[in-house]
Amino acid sequence: MRSTKDELADLNQYIAQMGGLAEEQLTNAIHSIERRDISLAEQTIRDDTLIDRLERRIEAHAIAIVEKFDPKGDDLRNVISAIKTSTDLERIGDLSKNIAKRSLVLSSQSPMPVTRNLVRMGLQTLGQLTEVLNAHSAREADRALLVWKKDAELDEIYNSLFRELVTYMMEDQRTISLATHLLFIAKNFERIGDHATNVAEIVFYLVNGHHLDDRRPKNDVTSLTAIKIGKPGTSHTQIAEDYEPVTDDDDRQDEDSSGRDRPSKLKSTSES
């Protein structure tokens, strides 16, 4: 007769397996960009189904534990945390697949110098994911908290890449198509960082029994940036005054309570 402890151990093993797959998918997506490797990109796209299957298995196993054992306290927290973690890992798999799809387009065109910076962002994102998965396996809340605090660094890298790519597009309209794909890839890396931060919060909750009280550090200002076309070879951006850092909820859409877009108060800056 298997106990709650045995079933939870299996559940945690599935999470570790899913985390390893998500880490491998992201690694392959980065390498497919760096090496312009079409076969690796195609493999990454195909392998996304492995993560999807594991998510369904974790969900089914978690439900079975609840039905059979009616867990309380720490055991129930383990079950809830496993479901939430699997959701974030599944999204990381989807985003890695999207990166691999766009790398197929990149491999057919002449590379842009900014691609090297994009790969560096990807590697930093991968480091964040690896660290939070290790924290999850070891149940180390302090280690997870370090990942949580570093999310703002990824946002800063994304802001820099955003401005750099916009500059390329404004100076040479022939780069617009390729630069747009690079922008989407950078955003996917930034979103993977957000999901790694979600997992860090789950680890904190799992270990301490309560949620983090602090507001998540976010420095992504690109959703508050408007682009104006000026003279050839120049670009102008507008940044919202007195903005608040973007939260995870803001990623969906900036709306007021009525569902309408919120007006922004903008001030203009220019970049040559």
Question: Do 92 and 157 contact (CB within 8 A), yes or no?
Answer: no
58 in any annotated domain: yes
Give the number of other Cβ atoms within 10 Å of residue 152's Cβ: 16
Picking from 108, 127, 160, the residue at the C-terminal end of a domain is: 108
Burial 5-15 (b: 16+ CB within 10 A, else e): eebbeebbebb
Q: Is the pLDDT of residue 257 over 50?
A: no
pLDDT digits (tens, 9 = 90+) for 68-87: 999 999 999 999 999 999 99
Domain CATH number, residue 10: 1.20.58.220
137 in any annotated domain: no
pLDDT at 214: 72
254 in any annotated domain: yes
179 in any annotated domain: no
Give the DSSP letter string of 13-56: HHHHHHHHHHHHHHHHHHHHHHTT-HHHHHHHHHHHHHHHHHHH
37 in any annotated domain: yes
Name the residue among 206, 248, 193 with its Cα closest to residue 81. 206
Rounded to whole angstroms, what are the CA distances from 128 to 152, 231, 234, 254? 12, 40, 35, 27
pLDDT digits (tens, 9 = 90+) for 7-30: 999 999 999 999 999 999 999 999
Lowest mean pLDDT among 69-73, 105-109, 125-129, 232-236: 232-236
pLDDT digits (tens, 9 = 90+) for 235-245: 444 433 333 44
Count of structural domains, the chain: 2
Picking from 58, 84, 108, the residue at the C-terminal end of a domain is: 108
Picking from 81, 108, 135, the residue at the C-terminal end of a domain is: 108
User: What is the pLDDT confidence band of residue 254, given thresholds at 50, 70 and 90?
Assistant: very low
69 in any annotated domain: yes
Cα–Cα distance, 97 to 82 (Å, whole number): 22
Domain boundaries, position 238: 223-271
**How confident is the prediction for the chain on average, in pLDDT?**
85
215 in any annotated domain: no
Cα–Cα distance, 221 to 28 (Å, whole number): 29
pLDDT at 215: 74
Cα–Cα distance, 197 to 150 (Å, whole number): 9
7 in any annotated domain: yes
